[in-house]
Every structure is written in structure tokens, then in C-alpha cells.
Amino acid sequence: MLGVPLRLETEPNLFSPNKLDEGTLAMLSRVVFTPGDKVLDLGCGYGAVGILAAKVIGPGRVCLLDNDPLAVACARRNLELNGVAGAKCLLGDGFRDFAETGFTKILCNPPYHVDFSVPRHLIEKGFNRLLVGGAMWIVTKREAWYRNKLRSVFGGSRAHNAGGYFVFEAIKKSASYAK
């Protein structure tokens, strides 16, 4: 993926089990991982984003989080298969049972065919887990709500149109929500 070979196993009941979905690929086409990054793959599924980050910046600086036990088990297997088992892979409902902070990048492909309570939680609480200067990356097909929410929390965002998806990059500019 993006020049980095990955071996990914998945399960039929997980999101996009036959191939990496186009939204995630669109998001990854915009993100650049750098050696000083600390990355959270939020809603990791079977782990492709977190595994790619771990292969680029090292597994000790990457955390994968999902609320589905099957996804977490699959992501842990894939971390092993790709030689980056040192990355943390945790089961949790968004940020409710997850206390880690200090991320420079949070990447998320949220469920956007449901009400907005899940992405609202991920954006608002994700803001608090980023370092100032860190960025939240979100991919979706629904532009207006995400643009408005990211503006209200981060003060704005950049939207990249990629193959019918909107890839948002919102940079944390201060320690408190935008006014």
C-alpha cells in the first residue's frame, strides 16, 4: 500500500473485507507520516492504517483502537503478520475507555451512514488527544456536517476531494476548542 508492502487478513463480518475501501485509500493518499509522529488509527477495523503507520514510523509510536472485538483480534493478527506487533491495539468505545494523549495524527474513517453521534464524539474527544499542531484526518462522503463540525471544534479544516470522498485535515491550533 502506497509503496509499503502489507499482508492483510480479514473476516467477512468486518467493514470492506475483500479489499481496502476507497475512502481509506483516499485518506492515505493525502497523509504523510514522519519519524516524530505519534499516530492513532481510530476505528481501526482490521488495521491497515495503523499497520502502514507502524511500518513507516515504528510500532512504538502507533495505537490502533476499535469497538469490535473481532476487528481488534484481526488487527492484532495483522500487526504480527507485518512485523509490527509492538504497536498497541486496543478494544474501546471511542475515547470512553481510552486515556492516551499526545498524538500528532489521528486518522479515522467513521461510520457516516448513521446519525452523527459517533463522529461528534470522535471529533470532540479526538481534539483533546492531539498535541497542538497535530492533525485529525477524517474521510467521508458527507461534506457539510463534517466541515461545520470541524470548524466549530478546530476553527476550520482543509477538504481534499478524492474520488468522490472528502478527506478532511483539521489542525489543532490551540489547547481549547475554536470560538
Measured N-to-C along each axis, helices 48-57 and 69-81 cross at an angle, to the nearest 10 degrees, of 30
- Quick: pLDDT tens for 109-123: 987 666 788 899 999
Closest of 106, 104, 72 to residue 88, by C-alpha:
72
Residue 61 lies in a domain: yes
Count of domains observed in the chain: 1
Instruction: Give the structural domain span for 127.
Output: 22-171
Residue 97 is given by DSSP the state: T
Residue 144 lies in a domain: yes
Residue 85 lies in a domain: yes
State the CATH number of the domain containing residue 46.
3.40.50.150
Residue 153 lies in a domain: yes
Rounded to two decimals, the pTM is: 0.93
State yes or no: pLDDT of 82 exceeds 60: yes
* Span of 43-57, 105-119, 163-177 with lowest mean pLDDT: 105-119
Are 14 and 68 in contact by the 8 Å Cβ rule? The answer is yes
Tally Cβ neighbours within 10 Å of residue 119: 24
SS3 at position 59:
helix
CA distance 50 to 164: 23
